[in-house]
């Protein structure tokens, strides 16, 4: 990230106490950002993060829900940049509580859009997921709608400076709800580690890697793009499980237990479809899915990104 982009800026991170949100905050503290607002609804996580980050006077801890538009209206006052990471993101919970996912992932995102335009923010970067691609779950469907809302928001800007874009990636190691922390707890208790399906494949990347690429997307975004981060590692889930046991339990005899795919869960992950690849560009660290419609009154012109070329893949899947 070019640190000049955030120098002196007021930045808000929705879901700022989550795995991705808190890492964004930590990396922003290494810049000359003017103020960093951490917006989330869990006071305990706010307290824990405050203890970790210390007393930097640029930090503001704001308790609130993205469903609560009036509260967020106050939080967005004088903000320049928003990293929108707040979401319901666990597949089974969204399956059994679908309208809660709608209220947070769809209605909450529209609240972010409305207030970003009202307060004339410079940029909004929303975090999406591989599950939005050809969705089979409530989570994926709600995240696909989130992406659509974020892209379409660029048609509403009028004379505002605000630009919106999404960033899409797969599993982030050690994030809350990811498989690695679950396995490590099972190893600690000498229990079999649970695997959904021996055929399953997954992408993986570290939290700092993911956030570095989120900042790269923020730097080059022009509005309406979906940035697909290239995941450095993809594994058969059984191979990853065996590597985990070799690293964390070399002396223990722990077995694998296959429990079946959860409701709404996919066998393989997909980050880029063939249809999307047809109008995507590619850089060293990401694919850039270009918006297919120009805002009213704007000529649809070729976009330029440093060292970008036509995407070289027909699709981007964990089993390829």
pLDDT in tens, 96-126: 999 999 999 999 999 999 999 999 999 999 9
Q: In order of start, what are the domains of the chain with their CATH numbers?
A: 3-170+205-232+271-317 (3.40.50.720)
As a whole number of angstroms, the distance between CA 216 and CA 230 comes to 12
Please, are residues 265 and 234 in contact by the beta-carbon 8 Å criterion?
A: no
Give percent of the chain above pLDDT 70. 95
Tally Cβ neighbours within 10 Å of residue 65.
Answer: 18
Tell me the pLDDT of the chain averaged across its residues. 91
- Which residues are known catalytic residues? 131
Q: Provide mean pLDDT across the span 89-94.
A: 92
pLDDT tier at 205 (50, 70, 90 boundaries)?
Answer: confident
As a whole number of angstroms, the distance between CA 250 and CA 240 comes to 14
Q: Provide mean pLDDT across the span 201-226.
A: 91
Residue-level pLDDT at 176:
63
The C-alpha torsion from 156 through 159 and 160 to 163, rounded to 10°, is: 60
Is pLDDT at 300 greater than 80 in this prediction? no
As a whole number of angstroms, the distance between CA 120 and CA 74 comes to 14
pLDDT tier at 303 (50, 70, 90 boundaries)?
Answer: confident
As a whole number of angstroms, the distance between CA 55 and CA 317 comes to 43
As a whole number of angstroms, the distance between CA 279 and CA 216 comes to 20
Is pLDDT at 301 greater than 70 in this prediction? no
pLDDT tier at 319 (50, 70, 90 boundaries)?
Answer: confident
As a whole number of angstroms, the distance between CA 34 and CA 9 comes to 5
Residue 93, class by beta-carbon neighbours within 10 Å (0-12 exposed, 13-18 middle, 19+ buried)?
Answer: middle
Residue-level pLDDT at 220:
94
Is pLDDT at 222 greater than 90 in this prediction? yes
> pLDDT for 238-277, tens place per residue?
988 888 898 898 888 898 999 998 888 889 989 999 999 9
């Amino acid at each position: 990230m070019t640190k000049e982009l955030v120098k002196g800026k007021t930045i808000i991170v929705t879901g700022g106490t989550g795995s991705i949100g808190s890492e964004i905050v930590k990396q922003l503290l290494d810049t000359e950002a003017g103020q960093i607002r951490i917006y989330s609804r869990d006071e305990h996580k706010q307290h824990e993060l405050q203890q970790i980050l210390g007393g930097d006077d640029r930090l503001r801890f704001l308790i609130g829900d993205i469903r609560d538009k009036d509260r967020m209206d106050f939080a967005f006052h004088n903000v320049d940049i928003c990293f929108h990471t707040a979401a319901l993101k666990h597949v089974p919970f969204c399956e059994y509580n679908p309208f809660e996912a709608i209220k947070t992932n769809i209605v909450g995102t529209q609240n972010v859009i409305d207030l970003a335009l009202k307060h004339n923010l410079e940029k909004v970067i929303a975090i999406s997921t591989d599950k939005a691609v050809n969705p089979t779950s409530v989570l994926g469907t709600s995240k696909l709608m989130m992406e659509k809302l974020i892209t379409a928001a660029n048609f509403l800007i009028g004379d505002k400076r605000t630009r919106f874009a999404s960033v899409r990636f797969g599993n982030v190691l050690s994030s809350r709800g990811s498989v690695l922390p679950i396995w490590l707890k099972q190893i600690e208790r000498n229990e079999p580690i649970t695997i959904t399906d021996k055929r399953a494949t997954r992408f993986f990347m570290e939290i700092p890697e993911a956030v570095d690429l989120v900042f790269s997307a923020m730097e080059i975004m022009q509005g309406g793009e979906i940035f697909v981060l290239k995941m450095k590692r993809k594994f058969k889930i059984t191979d990853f499980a065996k590597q985990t046991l070799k690293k964390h339990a070399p002396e223990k005899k722990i077995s694998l237990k296959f429990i079946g795919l959860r409701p709404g869960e996919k066998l393989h992950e997909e980050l880029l479809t063939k249809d999307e690849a047809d109008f995507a560009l590619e850089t060293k660290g990401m694919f850039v899915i270009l918006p297919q419609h120009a805002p009213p009154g704007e000529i649809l012109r070729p976009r330029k990104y440093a060292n970008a070329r036509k995407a070289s893949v027909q699709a981007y899947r964990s089993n390829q």
